[in-house]
Amino acid sequence: MDSDSKTSIEQLKKLLLDFRDERDWEQFHDPKNLAEAISIEAAELLELFLWKSPNDVTHLLKSDAKFKDAVEDELADILSFILNFANATNIDVSRAVSNKIEKNRKKYPVEKAKGSATKYDQL
């Protein structure tokens, strides 16, 4: 795999399926376990930012290769488990994201939401 601009979601899903199948791990890749794994890995990403200010994080991502590598590893774990979950549940990720964006367009119209972090039900 080369880069985001040259790799499709389908290619990543296939790569993960091959990796899983080479290790006979399909037995562990049920939706419940994969949902738990997503949450756990997201918490591990969050842990990297614990007790750091937003400015500290920005600085570390630019200046500390070890920190950035740790962030990349956790992001990769999360995305891998998300794609494994999509494989296990036969969810088309591109369609799901597009559908969700359309729902969010209705919940967060530009004229009400632009520049605001207010939740949709309070706009």
Span 61-71, pLDDT tens digits = 999 999 999 99
Q: Is residue 5 part of a domain?
A: no
- CATH of residue 47's domain is 1.10.287.1080
- How many whole angstroms separate alpha carbon 103 and alpha carbon 109? 10
Please, which pLDDT band fits residue 1 given cuts at 50, 70 and 90? confident
33 and 18 housed in the same domain: yes
83 and 97 housed in the same domain: no
When pLDDT is averaged across residues 100-119 and rounded to a whole number, the result is 94
19 and 76 housed in the same domain: yes
100 and 74 housed in the same domain: no
Domains in the chain: how many in total?
2
Please, which pLDDT band fits residue 20 given cuts at 50, 70 and 90? very high
pTM for the predicted model, two decimal places: 0.91
**What is the domain range of residue 18?**
10-91
- How many whole angstroms separate alpha carbon 1 and alpha carbon 5? 10
Please, which pLDDT band fits residue 2 given cuts at 50, 70 and 90? confident
Q: Is residue 1 part of a domain?
A: no
121 token code pair: 């039900």
